[in-house]
Amino acid sequence: MDMASGSVESGGSTEALSLDEALEIAARAHRAGDVPVAEALYSRILAVAPDHAAALHFYGVLHHQTSRPREAVQLIRRAIEIEPEDPSAHINLGNVFFELDRPDLAVKAYNTAILLEPAEIDARNNLGVALRVLRRPEEAEAIYREAIDLDPQHRDVWNNLGRLLGSQGRVQEAIACHARALELEPADAGTRRFLVAAYAATREHDRALAILRDWLRDEPENPSAQHLVAAISGENVPERASDRYVTALFDGFASSFDHKLARLDYRAPSLVAAAVDAVHAPNGDLVVLDAGCGTGLCGPALRTHARVLVGVDLSERMLDKARQRGCYDRLDAGELTQYLRDRPATYDLVVSADTLCYFGPLDAFGAAAAGALHPGGHLVFSVEESDGPDFVLHPHGRYSHARAYVERALTEAGFRIETVGSEGLRMERGEPVRGLIVTARRL
């Protein structure tokens, strides 16, 4: 294709740009995050040259990055029809399929990219992630090791291999991988967090704290490092995880959150939904709050009960994912307890799955939830279960709660406990995480 065979009007001017020039400007704006300019230029290029493969490809990537994955698939597929031997287009198509919860199609796209370019590292790295989601860990490990043989300096591959090994309980091997990744990029926050978590799992707390103190020396205000120092040292333990910590944590892995939880046999949303079903027929007549809604995993089940379904979460990026589900009438960003306080006698049902593990004392939350419910309304939630004190902050950064404490805090807040069940919420490093599924009724 002669990319310079057409021209694009440069808005507001009579000067015309060649297609090459327009594409370069669009790509530059795209890289800089100037979405309106990039989108306008890609559109103009395609109006002049509808079969411009590079513009179709890049415009598809822009759609992916702006939460329009289905349109992204159409654009990138069209680009591949025109130029089928571009491995980067197949990689990006795989990335979109992965976001659309089609890891099977992502695997095919990544494999095609590798066939076209046998030395392609990013395709192998992403392929390993997709294979993990498909519960094919042996194949994932093999592809990661193949990528490392091709490029031993690729930090992301070392980290992904470490996470895979850690999930299988091979924690010492995981530590070696994350340590190698940290050698390659000593200040990378993600690697530091992975290595801290691995050391915490083996109770090598001194090593974990050494990494965290290096991290705080480089970034004194980093909320993740601050919270984990308190969690591991037991010093200056906060009553709840800070808004900054929770926002940074969930913004950081919003795009992969659902897939990550699928690998952990995550059951909290389905267990909470079952508890709701036990007290309410799905008549679609309730005003419901999904408190700490995240990516909206509870949304489809709650929709059957709701005349109005509202979600609230601290993470804007998680809310962006929740919007894609199309379940909610409204999604708001905000801190949970204050959000409840600001809405007295508003809801028939408040549900919270896997959110209160970032709270220590539950008194303020319980009082706020009681105030936000109509009399007779239900509160249904999960917490991680503690066999020890009322509540405890663990080295992984989450709190667990004793059953007796949960019951006492809710009773004092004005609830009658209806059911408390002990269940496995998910797997973590090969071990089950026990939790409580609680149903309480406001008096």
- Find the CATH number of the domain harbouring 206: 1.25.40.10
Interval 103-137: pLDDT, tens: 999 999 999 999 999 999 999 999 999 999 999 99
Q: Is residue 417 part of a domain?
A: yes
Same domain, 269 and 218: no
CB contact at 8 A, 278 and 392: no
CATH of the domain at 277: 3.40.50.150
261 and 297 in a single domain? The answer is yes
Asked whether residue 254 carries a pLDDT value surpassing 70, the answer given is: no
What pLDDT digit, counting tens, does each position of 129-183 carry?
999 999 999 999 999 999 999 999 999 999 999 999 999 999 999 999 999 999 9
What's at 312, amino acid-wise?
Answer: V
Q: What is the pLDDT of residue 67?
A: 84
DSSP label at 240? B
Confidence class for position 324, pLDDT limits 50, 70, 90: confident
The last residue of a domain, from among 237, 272, 304: 237
Tell me the average pLDDT across 62-73. 93
Residue 406 placed within a domain: yes
Is the domain of 383 the same as that of 292? yes
pLDDT (0 to 100) of residue 122: 96
Residue 371 domain flag? yes
Residues of the domain holding 396: 254-442
Same domain, residue pair 292 and 400: yes
Asked if pLDDT for residue 263 goes beyond 60, the answer is no
Using CA atoms, how far apart are residues 205 and 224, in angstroms rounded to an integer? 16
> 298 and 428, same structural domain?
yes
Residues 211 and 306 in one domain: no
Q: Are residues 391 and 335 in the same domain?
A: yes
Range in 76-80, 250-254, 263-267 the model is least confident about = 263-267
Position 388 in a domain: yes
pLDDT class of 2 with cuts at 50, 70, 90? very low
Count of structural domains within the chain = 2
Mean pLDDT for 391-406 is 96
Structural contact between residues 254 and 238, judged by C-beta atoms closer than 8 angstroms: no
One domain, residues 428 and 324: yes
Percent of the chain scored above 90 by pLDDT? 87
Does some domain include residue 13? no
Residue range 26-44: mean pLDDT, rounded: 95
Do 232 and 270 lie in a common domain?
A: no
Shared domain for 181 and 314, answered yes or no, is: no
Q: Are residues 259 and 184 in the same domain?
A: no
CA distances from 376 to 10, 138, 358 (A): 63, 51, 27
Contact in structure between 296 and 322 (CB atoms under 8 Å): yes
Q: For 175, left (φ over 0), alpha (ψ -120 to 50), or beta? A: alpha
Q: Note the pLDDT of residue 353.
A: 96
Is the pLDDT confidence value at 259 over 70? no
Helix (H) or strand (E) holding 281: none
Q: How far apart are CA 78 and CA 51, in angstroms?
A: 8
For residue 130, what pLDDT is reported? 96
Q: Is residue 189 part of a domain?
A: yes
Q: Are residues 259 and 158 in the same domain?
A: no
Across the chain, what does the average pLDDT equal? 93
Provide the 8-state DSSP code for 298. Answer: T
Q: What would the DSSP string read from start to end of 318-374?
A: HHHHHHHHT--SEEEES-HHHHHHTSTT-EEEEEESS-GGGBS--HHHHHHHHHHEE
Q: Does some domain include residue 29? A: no
Using the 3D structure, point to which of 205, 237, 269 is the last residue of a domain: 237
Taking 3-state DSSP, the helix, strand and coil percentages for the chain, each rounded to the nearest 5, stand at 55, 20, 25
Q: How confident is the model at residue 261 (pLDDT cuts 50, 70, 90)?
A: low
434 is a domain residue: yes
